[in-house]
Amino acid sequence: MRLPSYAFIGIGAVAVAFVCAVPYGATAGEEFSTEAFLPPADGKDAYTPAVAFGKDAFLVAWRSGHLAPGDLREGLKFDAKIVACRVDRDGRLMDAAPFVVSAAADLRERPMAAFGGGVFLLVWQDLRNGKDWDVYAARVAPDGKTLDPDGIPVGAGPHNQALPDVAWDGRNFQVVWQDFRSGSQYQVYGARVSPEGKVLDVGGVALAESQISGGWGKDQLFNPSVAAVPGSGRSLLFWLAVSLNVKDKPLAACRFVENGRPAGAFTFTISEARKGPGGQHSTFPTSLAAGGKTCLLVWTTNAPWARGAPPNDANAMVLDADGRPVKSLALSGVLGPPWNCPVRIRNPRAAWDGASFVAAWDEWDQNPVGRRGNSKRLVEAVFAARVTETGEAGPKVRLSGEFDSPAIKPAVASDGAGTTLVAYEKHPAAGDVPIKIGFRMLPGRK
């Protein structure tokens, strides 16, 4: 199969050209739009965007704010809202200012988004009880109206319920999260939320539990990712694990979820410490995206420190319709000798545009500086690449990030017909300017 070629023209406000071949169903010369920014809410810093598409609009949500005013000597006080804006297919803002999804007391973090049944569903981890995390959700109508002001509890048991993800399974939203209700061990729980905003699995359902019995070792399951498998009525669930002093136990695993319950055995597990996803250094966070016939799993690869090293052979994997591995690949390209491993990537996310996956992530990049470019400095930048359904990755394209204004933590969504939006945190060069959500768009195929 012939692969597409990408031509890098520039960064920042300069367009980046994709020259795509037939397998992607695109035309030569398609370009990412120039960089644009969403308006900050009340002038506060913006963090960790989430994106979903539905009813001719992209919904971009993020955490607005962090610390509340006050004397730090009296303890930390938080004031962080979940806010959102809509963007149309042409990259035009549909809301003059962000609208509030949740402004309850204390802290909210890490929103995730999906669309189905005529509504968007946002989920996040919430500290409003003042002592530990719970999972909350809120529906947003396509016209930008918040249907569940301040959110509804989805996972709110003892101890932490955190790091949620969400997908639309064709009938309901499947929400998953890591759960510490036992007080000694994280496991993966989930609950369905209907388009009408009803939590169908009150209290949550255990979707993945410990694989260790007996002895004194326990495995901690964390960072669940979920994607709805088109045409199957099921969702594919992936999670990571860490096992202390116990050998040959899964470091990562995958299974189907149907009607809010585990469906069948694991489709694959990984227990070798130097293979990804999973390894001596946790590959958190991960992301799972469903395509036409396959799914794309992407994961973080951390820098090697002290004893051990992260996976060196891949940072992405294509899974077939049965949830089994088809091919491992490197989104960021493979370095030559002596290292022979891909560039370390962070915070990867992916979406299906109707013909291929579009993946985005951030990484440390080297930019030459000084006379004749004879010295280098590290830059945090956001990159993107296309991946075919069979796992062929195109060359990465740099979207944003400069030495004094880094870009991190991208989110990706597509309309399923070729138009894709990549949003990210864009940090300012000056300390008195708020962090903003930047975005660039890849227009639909002609």
Pair 178, 188: CB distance under 8 Å: yes
Please give the helix or strand (H or E) that residue 177 lies within, else none.
Answer: strand 173-179
Is residue 255 predicted with pLDDT exceeding 60? yes
Residue 4: pLDDT band with limits 50, 70, 90: very low
C-alpha neighbours within 13 Å on the C-beta side of residue 29: 1
In a domain, 387, yes or no: yes
What pLDDT does residue 432 have? 85
The residue with greater pLDDT, 318 or 27, is: 318
Q: From CA 251, how far away is CA 184, in angstroms rounded?
A: 18
Higher pLDDT, 371 or 178: 178
Domain contains 331: yes
Look-up: residue for tokens 């396509």?
A: 142
Predicted local confidence at residue 121, as pLDDT: 98
Q: Assess if residue 325 is contained within a domain.
A: yes
Residue with the two structure tokens 């609950």: 191
Residues 220 and 214: beta-carbon distance below 8 Å = no
Nearest to 204 by CA among 178, 230, 228, 233: 178
pLDDT of the residue at 246: 60
Q: Domain for residue 363, yes or no?
A: yes
Q: Is the pLDDT of residue 141 over 80?
A: yes
Domain count within the chain: 1
> Could you report the per-residue pLDDT of 151-163, keeping only the tens digit for each?
999 999 899 999 9
15: in domain: no
pLDDT of residue 341 exceeding 70, the answer is no
Structural domain includes residue 27: no
Domain residues for 388?
A: 36-442
The mean predicted confidence, pLDDT, of the chain is 84
Residue 345 covered by a domain: yes
Residue range 114-130, pLDDT digits in tens:
999 999 999 999 999 98
CA separation for the pair 131, 371 (Å, rounded): 53
- 162-170 average pLDDT score: 97
Q: How far apart are the first and last CA of the chain?
A: 22
Comparison of pLDDT for 52 and 249, the residue scoring more: 52
pLDDT value, residue 184: 87
Note the pLDDT tens digit of each residue in 281-333.
Answer: 568 899 999 999 999 999 998 655 444 444 456 789 999 999 999 998 888 87
Stated pTM of the model: 0.89
Q: What is the pLDDT of residues 170-226, one digit of tens each?
A: 999 999 999 999 998 899 999 999 999 999 999 999 999 876 554 445 688 999 999
Q: What CATH number has the domain bearing residue 260?
A: 2.120.10.30
pLDDT above 80 (res 230): no
In percent, how much of the chain has pLDDT > 90?
63
Q: Is residue 22 part of a domain?
A: no
Query: How much is the pLDDT for 378?
Result: 79
CA–centroid distance for 277 within its chain? 15
Q: Which residues of 159-198 are buried (b: 16+ CB within 10 A; e: fewer)?
A: bbbbbbbbbbbbebbbbbbbbbbeeeebbbbbbbbebeee
